[in-house]
Amino acid sequence: MKTNCSEVFALELRDVRKNFGKSEIIRGACLQIPKGERFAVIGPNGAGKTTLFNLISGRFALSSGEILLNGTSTQGLKSFEINRQGLSRSFQITNIFHRLSVYENLRCAVLWSLGYRYSFWNRLNQLRDARERADAILEQTGLTARRHTLAGALPYAEQRALEIGITVAGGAEVILLDEPTAGMSRSESDAAVELIRKVTAGKTLLMVEHDMGVVFGLADKIAVVVYGEVIACDTPERVRSNRAVQEAYLGSHVSDDTKQEQAA
């Protein structure tokens, strides 16, 4: 991995470590994500992918090391402060506002970035910019017809789409998605990939994903996490042929793909 000292990355992890009690879950993870690139994080179960996300988004505090967002350390910042600095995330388990309508979910998600903060002197329905932005996200996520449906009553795939909508609605430049296609059928996950491609255009994306089809279809680079370390980070082709990765994780997938190619 080559590093350019003067380059400011959208997101940079420097020797990040995290202990829970005596066990070290993240053991010196390093990662550099240039602006506008799409990274996928892969790795076996329990490798620490979601923990890594929780550290980046401020849900957990680091044990040591440093995380830089656009060149600034996020040390000591709360998750809402990190969000205000332009980083937004989704969750592995659907995390939406169940008892609000789809439209209200999205309108809530744009309020802070439009500067309405804790206002109790504005009338929501008179905020044109909030309405337009929420409508635009509704359109993008294909949920316009579901506008007035309670979020909790949506089918699973649409809840996931809504969650992606909430994540990007605030206009954050760095987007973290935690297994956005988990539990989806083939066609649903194809639609989700298209949606992610569309709403993250021009933004920096970091995504945990198990579905190799999604990973190879979407990611510019792949970071492989094994036992709390980033053991490789490269283009999909080179990760595919990386021997260490094959041994540690990808082996079966690669041979499956090769078999399929031979059969075809």
Partner 1 sequence: MAVTLPHASVSSAPSMSEVLPSALGGWRPLAWLGYIAVLVAAPLVFDSGASISFLSQLGCLIVFGLSFNMLLGQGGMLSFGHAVYSGLGGYVAVHVMNASAAAGSGLYVPLVLIPVVGGVAGLFFGVVLGYVPTKKAGTTFAMITMGMGELVYAFTQLFPRFFGGESGITTSRSYGSGFLGFSFGPQIQVYYLIVVWLVVCTVAMYAFTQTPLGRIANAVRDNAERAEFIGYDTRKVRYLLLIISTFFAGISGALAAINFEIVGAESVSAAHSGNGLLFTFIGGVGSFVGPILGAVAGGFLTTKLSDYTMAWQLYLGVFFILFVMYAPGGLAAIFSANWRVLRAGLFARVLPQWLSVVAASAVMLAGSIVVVELSYALAFGAQKAAAAQFLASLTPFWNAALWALGIGLLAAGGFWLMKSRKAFRNQWEQVQADMAHGSQQAPGGLA
**Residues forming the site for partner 1 (CB under 8 A):** 57, 59, 78-80, 83-84, 88-89, 91, 95-101, 104-105, 107-109, 111-113, 116-125, 127, 145, 147-148, 150, 166-167, 169-170
The least CB distance from residue 139 to partner 1, in Å, is 12
Residue 3, token pair as written in the block = 């590093």
CA atoms 149, 154, 160, 163: torsion sign:
positive
Q: Report the residue number, 8 or 124, with the smaller CB distance to partner 1.
A: 124
Q: How far is the CB of 207 from partner 1 (least distance, A)?
A: 16
Say if CB 113 and CB 171 are below 8 A apart.
yes
Q: Which is nearer to partner 1, 97 or 227 (CB)?
A: 97
Q: Residue 45: count other Cβ atoms within 10 Å of its Cβ.
A: 6
Least distance between partner 1 and beta carbon 101 (Å): 7
Length of the chain measured in residues: 264
15: amino acid identity, one letter: D
Contacts of 67 (CB under 8 A, 6+ apart): 11, 12, 13, 14, 16, 55, 56, 73, 74, 75
CA dihedral 21, 25, 30, 34 (to 10 degrees): -110
Closest CB to partner 1 among residues 63, 95: 95
d(CA 162, CA 142) in angstroms, rounded, equals 9
| Residue with smaller CB distance to partner 1, 107 or 221 | 107
Q: How far is the CB of 193 from partner 1 (least distance, A)?
A: 22
